[in-house]
Structures are given as C-alpha cells and as structure tokens.
Amino acid sequence: MRPSAALRNRSVLLVVLALLLAACGGNGDAESSDASPPDASPPEHDLPPSDPVPVRVTGSLQELQEGWVLCPGSVAPCWPVVEPGADLESGLVTATGVWDRETIAIETVDPPPDGTSAGDVDTPLEELESVLEDAAERWPDWGDEGWVVLSGTIDIGTGRVVIAFDEIDPRLRDEVESTWGETIDIRANVEVLDGTVDLLELPPEPGEIPIATQPRGSAGMGDSGRFTLRYDEQLDCMWFEDEDGARVKPIWPHGFRAQPDPVRVLDGAGRDLAAAGQSFEVSGGFGRVLPDSDDPTDCGATEVFVISPN
C-alpha cells in the first residue's frame, strides 16, 4: 500500500533534515523552520580571486545604495552585480552570467519559471506519486554531491513532479533526464552551466581558522543550546563548550568564516558574530560526530550542533 500524502510530505521533510545532518557527519532529532529573508547587504571582507563560473540564477534582483545585488532564492549572502550586460529592474528574475567569488556579471535577465514553460505531459497521478517516491530515495546521494533538495511536489496542472534544489550542475540534469525523462521538472536557485557545484565553494583566506559550514539552502532546526566559543591553539580549531564543559563541534551557516587575531566568527556579510570566550544561546539541533571522522574541524568533539541560519 502506498503511504498517504501526509506521510509522504513528512518523509520529504525528514530526508531534507537527513541531508543537513549528513553534511556535518552526524545525526539527531530536530524540527525544521522556515528560512528568513536574506540579508541583501553585500559581503564586506576582502577575499582572493577564484575561477569564474558560468551560472543561471533564479532569485531576487535588488537595487541598494551600494549598487545592484542578486539574491539566489531566499538564501544569503546576496551577490553584488558587476558589469551588467542587460537592463536591470528590481524583482524576481532568472539571470545568466558569470559568478566570480562573491560577485556576478549578469549577461541576460528573464522572468522566473512559471511552471508552464516546459509544456504539459499526460502522466497519471499514481505514476507521478511513484516517481516522487523513487526520486526521494536519491536525495541523500544528491545531497552528498552538493545538490541540496529544497522541496518535492506534484504539479497536477502540468502533470509533472517538481523538485526544487538550491545548487545543481549538468550531472544532476543528466541523471534526472536519463532516468525519468520529462516527468520531473527541475528548479534551482543556482545552476552551474559548465563544471560542478564544487566550483562555487569559497576557498579559505590565507591564515584563517577552518570551520565547518552547512551547504546553501540548509533548513533551520528547532532546538537550542547555550555555549561558550573556545579556540584550541594547538589544533587550530574552534569548538563550543557546553554547560557541562564538554566539547561540541559547531556547524555554522553557509558563508560564515573564522578569523584569527582576534579569534572570532564572521557571518555571511562579513560582520563580527562571536569572539572566543563569548557565551551565547543559539538555535539549531544536535547530532553526533562520526567515530571514524578525521575532519580537523571536529576539534576533539563527540557531538555537533547545527546552527540554524535564521
């Protein structure tokens, strides 16, 4: 017997949560929460250059006092627009261009997909339900590749399964099209047009402290904890000290960085968030560090705390 719609929706949420915890090498129980609107302020820190990456971005185009920014989906940080090759207007758009570290050079701007551009297909509802269930089994593996699933739904109007991702690349499209053909409509906040999503990872600044961060698009979690931020000079890593004195590995939101002298953590906009020795309460969820992990950011911890991005 096929599970009810309520059970399928619950399974979707659990799979997304599993992706988040798998990314940090742990597991645990927590509930998801809606993401808050992104901070549109462009990042403030100076970073070394990276290789330009051709991308297609669906998100919000905004004009700030500092200039235009493009915010992929609802996930911060937003990217400052440089050398626009098209007329720009504020609103939801799908833009193509070249991403370079923390900026994007926009070449074309179009309206975002409305769900009808792909055309309708005549697929029975029972078959669509089966396709969604089969695809959901692939979500953990897709998450390992950096293709974080945001949602999976059935669009009765077009007769398709719609799966939304944060970042994807041609490998994901090839797999979906060869397996399910036109039955699945792929949506993405950021699509790498040539290469892989790994090209969008920000290499650390020289001399900065390595920390563990979540993929873009990770969901919030409903627990909370009170910790003191500590720095292990010998291991060159940061950890949370809980109220019992135990070490907990923090998994910071996407885009966060840690700087020495003084030791501190910066958020996705480059603002000081926390300093070593500071105590504070944060929302998120607990998990376990895998016993065979050799990640230097583990910093001797046996538990992790995944910090909610909002």
pLDDT tens-digit readout, 17-55: 333 333 333 333 333 333 333 445 544 444 444 579 999
Check whether residue 189 and residue 223 sit in a common domain.
Answer: no
Span 287-299, average pLDDT: 76
Is the distance from CB of 241 to CB of 203 less than 8 angstroms?
no
Task: Give the tokens for residue 28.
Answer: 């645990």
Q: Where does a domain end: 110, 125, 155? A: 110
Task: Give the tokens for residue 303.
Answer: 């538990």
Q: Report CA dihedral (150, 22, 211, 289) to the nearest 10 degrees.
A: 150
Per-residue pLDDT band at 113 (split at 50, 70, 90): confident
Q: Where does a domain end: 145, 166, 198? A: 198
- The predicted structure's pLDDT at residue 207: 84
- The predicted structure's pLDDT at residue 209: 92
How many domains are there within the chain? 3
- Tell me what the pLDDT averaged over the chain comes to: 80
Distance CA 92, CA 73 (A): 9
Task: Give the tokens for residue 285.
Answer: 């969820």
- The whole-angstrom distance between residue 231's C-alpha and the CA centroid of its chain comes to 26
Span 170-187, average pLDDT: 96
Distance CA 23, CA 294 (A): 14
Q: With 0-12 CB in 10 A as exposed, 13-18 as middle and 19+ as buried, what is 49?
A: exposed
Distance CA 132, CA 147 (A): 16
Q: What is the pTM of this model?
A: 0.66
Check whether residue 227 and residue 294 sit in a common domain.
Answer: yes
Determine, yes or no, domain membership for 24: no
Check whether residue 100 and residue 121 sit in a common domain.
Answer: no
Check whether residue 88 and residue 119 sit in a common domain.
Answer: no
Check whether residue 257 and residue 279 sit in a common domain.
Answer: yes
Span 192-211, average pLDDT: 86
Lowest mean pLDDT among 75-89, 91-105, 294-308: 75-89
Which domain range does residue 106 map to?
Answer: 53-110
Specify whether the backbone of 177 is left (phi greater than 0), alpha (psi in -120 to 50) or beta. alpha
Lowest mean pLDDT among 152-156, 187-191, 196-200, 246-250: 196-200
Pick the most confident of 1-5, 43-47, 66-70: 66-70
Determine, yes or no, domain membership for 120: yes
Span 4-21, average pLDDT: 35
Reference 211, options 257, 162, 247; nearest CA is: 257
Reference 21, options 169, 139, 171, 196; nearest CA is: 139
Cα angle 93, 103, 55; round to 5:
55
- The predicted structure's pLDDT at residue 292: 59
Given a cut of 90, whether residue 244 has pLDDT beyond it is yes
Distance CA 37, CA 121 (A): 34
- The predicted structure's pLDDT at residue 123: 83
DSSP 231: E
- The predicted structure's pLDDT at residue 203: 66
Given a cut of 70, whether residue 63 has pLDDT beyond it is yes
- The predicted structure's pLDDT at residue 309: 78
Distance CA 216, CA 219 (A): 9
